[in-house]
Structure formats: C-alpha cells, structure tokens
Structure 1
Amino acid sequence: MPVYCITGTNRGLGLEFVRQLAQSSDNTIIAATRSLSSDLANLKAVASPSTHIVECDTGNVASIRSFVKEVAQLLGGKKIDFLLNSAGVDLGSWQSSLTLGPDDLHAQIDINVIGPAKTVELLLHAGLLSSNVRILNMSSGLGSMQRSSEIKPRKCAGYSISKAGLNMLTVHQSEDLKPHLPGAVVIAMDPGWVKTRLGGNGAVLEPHESIGGVLRVLHGLTSEDNGRFYHYTGEKIPW
C-alpha cells in the first residue's frame, strides 16, 4: 500500500493528483494544503477514506516543520513512497527582467524553491522517506533555459527564474540524497500548459490529461532517471 505525500492540493494540479490517486483504496494520501481555513470543499469531495488533509504552507519553514511532525504521527512508522512537490505560484506574470518586483520574486523563490528544499530536508531528517522514494518537483517548460530562449517575447520572468532554481535544486537533491537513500530518484516535471488558475488564459490541457501523464512517468521511473527533467508525456526536456 504506497504512501503519497502531495503539496498544494486545495486546487489545480495538486487537487487532480488527489482525485486520481484516491480512486485506489490501496493508496494512502497525505494531502497538504496551505491553510485548513480556506475552502477545501473540492478537496474533500475527491478525497478517499485513506486521504489525510494536513496544513502546510510551503512558503513558511515553521509550517513545514509542523507538517512533518503531524505526518510522522499519521503514518505511525510507515514511510513516504512518493513525494510530489506540487505547490507553486506565479506572481507578477506581466513583469519582465527589467521590471521585476522584488517582493513578488522573493515570494516565488520562497514557495517554488525553498519550499520543496525544506520539505525534502525535514522529511528526510524525520526518517519519513522510504529508501526508494520517488520525488517529483513540479517545474515548468519556462524553467528550461533552452526553451525560454526560444520564446519571443520572453514571459513570466520571475516565475521562470524560480522554476530554473527548482530545476537546479532537483539536480542537487538527486545526488545529495544518495548517501542517505541509495534508491531514491528525484526528477523535475513539466506538466504542460494546463487549464488551471495558474495556467491562465490560453491553456490547452485538461488537468486529468496532464496528471495522468505525470503519474505514468512517475510510476515508471528507474534509477537511470535520477536527476532528469521530463515533460508529462515522458519526453526529456533540455535544461
């Protein structure tokens, strides 16, 4: 009975992860959401009896610490087999490299980079990750320097910068975890341009198509995939 831990599950791609994974009663799901006081009707509607909704603001390290303690109590000795760092924000998408808002950029780095870094670190130190854990950092094609260089005019400068940072975090985690968890595999994932609030106008993919593909890639990972960047279709993406 695999254990999945997913951040950012109150809406968007995180919610779709829960919806699809909750269809199997074999899956234990830790569904992290930024605040338990927000509207969780959609999340509760798709949750299974083995889904645990837990508060975790990934932009706040103290909140991540509290989350890890609660997860330890919920699992009672079980380990996380799949960690899906899905929480993310795109703030000030109209800003270019010449008009970056420092507060917006800092917030995106806090949530999109530091959040996944501390989540992995604290879960590891708490002994909550399985020896063969699969860790997925939800990135974007906009985090690829090669692909971004082909977009004219450029767009979403702050978001792109934070996702490029997340990609580099993935490269480091894939090596740094080896002495602790020899079988761990860490990847970055581009879910495609999905019809969510973050995806915005013009998005072409339905959430179920994107996440269905992401899960197929996730469940087929081997040690050779460690440290790679994938599209939801399974295509490798250039850094």
Structure 2
Amino acid sequence: MPVYCITGANRGIGLEFVRQLAQSSDNTIIAATRSLSSDLDDLKAVASPSTHTVECDTSNLQSIHSFVKDTSRILGDKKIDFLLNNAGVNLGSWQNSLALGPDELHALLAVNVIGPAKTVELLLDAGLLSADARILNMSSVLGSLQRSSGPGPRQYAGYSISKAALNMLTVHQSEDLKQHLPGAVVISMHPGWVKTRMGSDAAPLEPSESVEQMLKVLHRVGGEDTGTFCDYSGEAIPW
C-alpha cells in the first residue's frame, strides 16, 4: 500500500490529488492543510477511509515539526513513498522587480521555498521517507530563467523569484539525498495553468486533467530524472 503525503491538500490542485488518489483503497494519504480550523468540507467529501488529515502550516517551522510528529504517529512502521510539496502562495502579484514589497517576498520565500526544504529535512530526520521516495516540488514555468528572459513584460516578480529558488532547492535536494536515500528522486514540476483560486477561471486546464497527468509522470520517473524540471506531461522545461 503506497503512502502519499500532500501539503496544501484542502483546495485546488492539492484537493484534486487527494480526490484521485482516494479512489484506490490501496493508497494511504496524509492530507496536510494549513489549519484544521479551515473549511475542510471539500476535503472530507473526497477523502477515503485511509486518508488522514493533519495540520501543517509550511510557513511555520514549529507547525512542520508538529506535522512530522503527527505523521509518524499515524504511519507507525510505514514510510512515505510519494511526497508532494504542493502548498504555495502568490502574494503581491502586481509588484515588479523595481517595486518588491519585502513583507510579501519574505512570505513567498517562507512558504514556497523554506517550507518544502524543512518538510523534506524533518521527514528525513524522522526516518519517514522510503528508500525510493519520489518527491515533487510544485514549481511553475514562471520560475524558468530562460523562459523569463525573453522580450516582453515580466509577470509576478516575487512569485517567479520564489519558484526559481525552489527549482534550485530541487537540484540541491536531489544530490544531498543520495547519501541518505540513494533511490530517491526529486523533481520540480509545472502543473500548467490550472483553474484554481490561484490560477483563476481563465486558465485552460481543469485540475483533474493536470493532476492525472502529473501522477502519471510521478509514477514513472526513475533515477535518471532526479534534479530535473518538467511540466505536467513530463516535457522538460529549461532552467
């Protein structure tokens, strides 16, 4: 029975991951949400008997520590086979590089970069990652330096900066984990422009299509793929 751990699981892409994975009773799911006092009706509606909802505010180190302890208690001798670092924010989207708000940028880096870094670190320290763990860091094509360097106006400066930093984190994690989990694979993935609260109704992709394709990619990646950046269909994206 594979174990999946998903952060930001109560809405959007994270919720769709839970919905699709919960359709198989073989899957144990750790569904992490920023607060257990949030509206979790949608998550409860799609959860399976083997879905466990836990609190994890990825911007708060103490919350991540508590999440790891809760996850250890729930799993017992089991380990996480698939870790989906999905939680993310897009703040100050109107700001460009000449008018970045420090508070917004700090918050973006806390959630989008430091959160995934400490989540992997603390789960590893607790012995909760399987020897062949697959780790997906949810990135964005906006984090591609090459794609962003062409002519034309830039978009979402702070968000783009945080996702470029997340991509670099992926490269470092892919190498650093080898001495602990030689079979582990870490990838950055762009989910596409998806109809979510962050993506808006103007997006062309339904969450179900994006997640279905991402799971196919996640289930087929091998050692040669660690430290790479791709879109939801598996197509490589330049750094």
Q: Output the TM-score relative to the length of structure 2.
A: 0.99
Write out aligned runs for 1:154-193 (5 A): 154-193=154-193
The RMSD of aligned alpha carbons is 0.7
Bigger shift: residues 57-66 or 150-159? 150-159
SS in 2 for 1:117: helix
1:26-65 CA distances to partner (integer Å, 9 max, x unpaired)? Answer: 0000000000000000000000000000000000000000
Q: Output the TM-score relative to the length of structure 1.
A: 0.99
SS in 1 for 2:178: coil
CA distance in 2, matches of 1:103, 1:9: 25
Question: Could you tell me which residue of structure 1 aligns to residue 216 of structure 2?
Answer: 216
1:81-129 CA distances to partner (integer Å, 9 max, x unpaired)? Answer: 0000000000011110011111000000000000000000000000000
Change (3 A) 1:151 1:88: farther
Q: CA deviation at 1:151?
A: 6.1
Instruction: State yes or no: 1:235 paired with 2:235.
Output: yes
Deviation beyond 4 Å, 4+ runs, structure 1: none
CA distance in 2, matches of 1:189, 1:46: 24
CA distance in 2, matches of 1:200, 1:162: 20
CA distance in 1, matches of 2:175, 2:167: 13
Write out aligned runs for 1:9-88 (5 A): 9-88=9-88
SS in 1 for 2:214: helix
What are structure 1's unaligned runs of at least 5 residues?
Answer: none
CA distance in 2, matches of 1:151, 1:123: 41
1:149-172 CA distances to partner (integer Å, 9 max, x unpaired)? Answer: 236210000000000000000000
Q: CA deviation at 1:200?
A: 2.4
CA distance in 1, matches of 2:199, 2:152: 19
Q: CA deviation at 1:201?
A: 5.0
Write out aligned runs for 1:127-146 (5 A): 127-146=127-146
What are structure 2's unaligned runs of at least 5 residues?
Answer: none
CA distance in 1, matches of 2:151, 2:74: 45
Q: CA deviation at 1:203?
A: 1.1
SS in 2 for 1:177: helix
